[in-house]
Chain A
Amino acid sequence: MTFIARSSPHAFSGNSTGRLMQWVMLASVPGLLAQTWFFGWGNLINVLWCMALAVGAEAVMLRIRKRPVRWQLEDCTALVTGLLLGLSLPPLLPWWISALAVISAIVMAKHLYGGLGNNPFNPAMVGYAVVLISFPLAMTTTWAMPAGAGDGGLSLWGTLVQIFAGSASSPAIDGVTMATPLDLYKQQIHRELASTVTQHPAFGDFVARGWEWVNLGFLAGGLLLLWRRIITWHIPVSFLAALAFMALLFGWDPDQSVPLSLHLLAGGTMLGAFFIATDPVSGATSNKGKLVYGAGIGALLYIIRAWGSYPDAVAFAVLLMNFAVPFIDHYTQPRSYGHQKPRRVS
């Protein structure tokens, strides 16, 4: 009798990349629901549009690269890239800008570097950065007004028309968009006191109307990922801790700069900390390395938000730290069992 030769171990956990990605998608649901609740249909349409396009681009690239298309699509990584872009792009962004972001992400950042596992940069953030630099106006003026801040948002049909047939500069959308709280606070605090600034409807009663719930939704999803051990605590914790540290150190006076509460609960903070910075492919690997990597993103996020020209900076902070990953990995090798200190390979 002969048997199929196989090397140990002979047992497996049943874990798969596809399963991990499905959990990531599931974990994004609370945040997405909050976005839809407060900012209208835009994000949901964006998410669906970006995911569909991402799968299409992935399939085309796999076909061109002569890879098994169906089998590789099952790892769901393209879906997650599309999802993350859909969640981070402004809700009323014209369709072709989203498409450009998705194609940059999948084709340029992922497949031109060798496909899954070989991309040094976070694909979704590459896509985001490309369109942010190319279309700064559209990217900053198409955030829908949060529910309760104005006369009411667009209907589903209105949103679809705006995204697929409208233009970023059309006067029709002026009435339904609003600057993001981070942007607004940063601009206004030089002229007014904090108590006056926060009177603006964008801030609502709590921290930042709508945004706080979106961020709490992503926080909840992040906790789900932690509980399922799909991510480890190192990156989100060091990310948020570094951001908080910087905000307390340099922005302790709310009459001078954006306060900590706004840093944590507005913009893409929680989405960045739990969903984007934790991308394994382009991140640091060892636990110690993850701490450094996350802290770097948190610190850069604050630096760009406070002293840069962009109101939010998750994409740039992540991409800059992607550059530093080989360096971080080199210097943060764990000490192996029975060894005095980690050996470094030159």
Chain B
Amino acid sequence: MNSPEQPGAVQVQDFPGGIVLPDNKAQSLQQPIRPGGLPPELWLPLQQHLGQPAITVVSEGDRVLKGQLLAAAQGPDSVPVHAPTSGLISAIAQRAVPHPSGMSDWCITLIPDGEDRWRERQPLPAYLELERDQLLARVHASGIAGLGGSGFATGRKLDSTRGHQIHQLILNGVECEPYITADQALMQERAEEILEGLALTAHLIEAKQCLIAIEDNKPAAIQAMQGALARHREDNSQLQRPTEIVVIPTKYPSGGEKQLIQMLTGQELPHGTLPADIGILCHNVATVAAIYRAVVHDEPLLSRIITLTGEALADPGNREALLGTPINYLLQQAGQDQAATRHLIMGGPMMGFELPSSQVPVVKTSNCLIAATVQEMPPAPPAQTCIRCGQCEQVCPMTLLPQQLLWFAQGSEHHKAEQHNLFDCIECGACAYVCPSHIPLVQHYRHSKGVLRKEQAEQASANRARERFEQRQARLEREKAEKEARRQARAEARKARQSETPAATGSPEQAPTSAEIAAPVDTQMLEQRREQAMAKREELLERLSAARDQALASTPQLERALAKHEQRLAALDQKLADARTPAQGQTP
């Protein structure tokens, strides 16, 4: 390990492949970050992250305050949604969300009242006194999902370090995609906030060392961060860990988590592991700034910085937009020339996706919006045949064989593609960028992945069904055998009693008590009830496994019902056993 105290201690390594792109960042950096304004409506999707959607906790017609919880997280991968401003919940309905397919999803519509009234807040400046789990709970509750574009639940990511010693906390300020300047603007203007967030995060996960990676095409951001870091050092602040700003060469996709880890540590993240498994955690600069605001000021994630750019905009720049702000509202503010807009891209030109409509909201992962003219993004020429020139392979940062993967994808040999590590493809688009035959390689890979994922899901579902069936068969057989055994036991007992009866009659003083006479009747009734209970339990079990498969909301209810039933069954068994004991005790 390098000695982290000295500046320049980190030796920046290279990663294989990669490309140098025209960066197109200057046009959105002419102005400082401006507020995105208060639109007439906010559309808040319940799923703005990877993982389970949140569940609404408000109803139509409710008045809500700024920062109030609107939808709660459902499981650890899920993140909650809060009201970006005070207002009225006018609808909870399906509407278009930012997605390449133009699909609709559940959204909460909030009509702002213009007062921007906060709910009661509990700031926490002395966070160092809090336990790790308490801090983590605050992050979980704040609705932060990876703001770099991944949308992975931040609380979950922090939690992934449990049981791991984190040697390096890497702050990703690389922003390697062209056009996007949201992180760069944030670093230039709010370096302090980022460092506060870094200090807090490092404290939370007990990181040994912090590295802040910035590409060398952002000198102003580097300077601002260095200045803030120097001030922090002087103030002897909460950033007690050795921290270093690492300037890395500009090469796409250096901001990819795996590539960044390779550049800063020389290590490759082994296939199928998380960075925490090798003692590393990466966070986007905007994410840690949001963590700081959430924990210290009790401000959940309500807005984000989004780069509005592209030649169809008269006034490009970075806006701090409330989550849920309609895209067309922002575009209007930026002076969009609608006629000249040929493509509307959310995200960067390399990995972003085309929006089918501008009637969609800003979500937690929306880092950039490009309104491109036809000159800016001319239509791709028709694809020619692959000539196996291997340029794709030279630029692939994951050292895959793109042309081979294409061959398999085209021939529907998806399993071969999988064996050639198709799922390691990060879809950075470098291969398609350089392809002289203009083949939409990434699209082919996505198709292959889709086919394989579907197949896997179907396979898993079929396996579950088979298992269920086999278990049911086994259970039925077992029960049948038990029933038979009981029946035989009863028959034998009866036979034994009958053979004893004459002897019993011979001794009149040994006449059975009324309770003992009633006992067999009682047992029979109990057994009948037990049979019924078993049947009911079986039915419940089946319904539960079906519900689990389909991830129905009724699962917990069914679980509770089953547990209750098991108790009842146990009680019946006990009663039955009790009822039998005296009877058996008497017979011999």
Q: Please report A residues at the B interface, Cβ cutoff 8 Å.
A: 1-13, 15-17, 19-20, 71-72, 75, 77, 115-118, 229, 232, 280-281, 283, 285-287, 290, 329, 333-340, 343, 345
Contacts and interface: CB of A to CB of B under 8 A. Distances in A.
A13 B393 contact: no
B258 interface: yes
B353 A8 contact: yes
B398 A12 contact: no
A115 to B, nearest CB: 7
B350 A9 contact: yes
30 contacts: A1-B344, A2-B356, A4-B343, A6-B343, A7-B100, A7-B440, A7-B443, A8-B350, A9-B350, A12-B432, A16-B436, A17-B436, A75-B384, A117-B384, A117-B387, A229-B391, A232-B394, A280-B387, A280-B389, A281-B387, A285-B390, A285-B401, A286-B393, A286-B401, A334-B399, A336-B271, A337-B398, A337-B424, A339-B421, A345-B419
A218 to B, nearest CB: 20
A175 to B, nearest CB: 44
B499 interface: no
A342 to B, nearest CB: 9
A115 B354 contact: no
B271 A10 contact: no
B258 A285 contact: no
A334 B419 CA distance: 13
A338 B390 contact: no
A19 B384 CA distance: 13
Interface in B265-289: 268-273
The 7 A-B residue pairs whose C-beta atoms are closest, nearest first, are A9-B429, A117-B385, A338-B271, A11-B349, A280-B389, A7-B443, A337-B398
B577 to A, nearest CB: 58
A117 to B, nearest CB: 4
B372 A10 contact: yes
- Quick one: which of A10, A11, A280 has the most chain B CB within 10 A? A10
B156 interface: no
Nearest to B331: A1
A116 B439 CA distance: 14
Contacts of A286: 390, 393, 401
Given A8-B352, A337-B268, 5 more contacts: A9-B429, A75-B384, A117-B384, A280-B387, A339-B270
B433 A11 contact: yes
B566 to A, nearest CB: 45
A13 B435 CA distance: 8
B420 A333 contact: yes
- Quick one: which of B379, B416, B419, B436 has the most chain A CB within 10 A? B436
B342 interface: yes
A4 B401 contact: no
A76 to B, nearest CB: 11
A71 B357 CA distance: 34
Nearest to A9: B429
A1 B338 contact: yes
Contact of A11 (B21, B393, B427): B21
Contacts of A8: 347, 349-353, 427, 429, 442
A5 B398 contact: no
B98 to A, nearest CB: 13
A2 B399 contact: no
A335 B399 contact: yes
Contacts of B480: none
A23 B303 CA distance: 51
Contacts of B387: 17, 77, 116-117, 280-281
A333 B258 contact: no
A343 B442 contact: no
Interface residues of B, number: 72
Contact of B399 (A19, A290, A336): A336
A274 B381 CA distance: 29
A72 B380 CA distance: 16
Given A9-B350, A15-B391, A285-B393, A4 B442 contact: no
B442 A285 contact: no
Nearest to B379: A4
A20 B388 CA distance: 13
A257 to B, nearest CB: 36
B354 A6 contact: yes
Interface string B365-408: 00000101000010111101111111101100111110110000
A137 B269 CA distance: 61
Contact of B388 (A15, A115, A281, A336): A281
Nearest to A16: B436
B385 A118 contact: yes
A305 B427 CA distance: 47
Given A5-B354, A12-B438, A75-B384, A334 B401 contact: yes
Nearest to A336: B421
Nearest to A339: B271
B420 A9 contact: no
A337 B253 CA distance: 14
A11 B21 CA distance: 9
Interface in B461-504: none
A327 to B, nearest CB: 14
A345 B417 CA distance: 9
Contacts of A345: 416, 419-420
B63 interface: no
Given A2-B357, A17-B437, A285 B403 contact: yes
Nearest to B386: A117
Contacts of B394: 229, 232
Given A8-B351, A17-B436, A337 B442 contact: no
A255 B491 CA distance: 110
Nearest to A117: B385
Nearest to B413: A345
Contacts of A337: 16, 258, 262, 268-269, 397-399, 424
A10 B424 contact: no
Nearest to A74: B384
B345 interface: yes
Given A285-B401, A336-B424, A337-B268, A15 B178 contact: no
Nearest to B350: A9
Contact of B446 (A7, A17, A333, A340): A7
B393 A338 contact: no
B438 A16 contact: yes
A11 B388 contact: no
Contacts of B226: none
Contacts of A338: 258, 268-273, 398, 424
- Quick one: which of A9, A340, A345 has the most chain B CB within 10 A? A9
A259 to B, nearest CB: 34
Contacts of B73: none
A82 to B, nearest CB: 17
Interface string B122-145: 000000000000000000000000
Interface string B33-63: 0000000000000000000000000000000
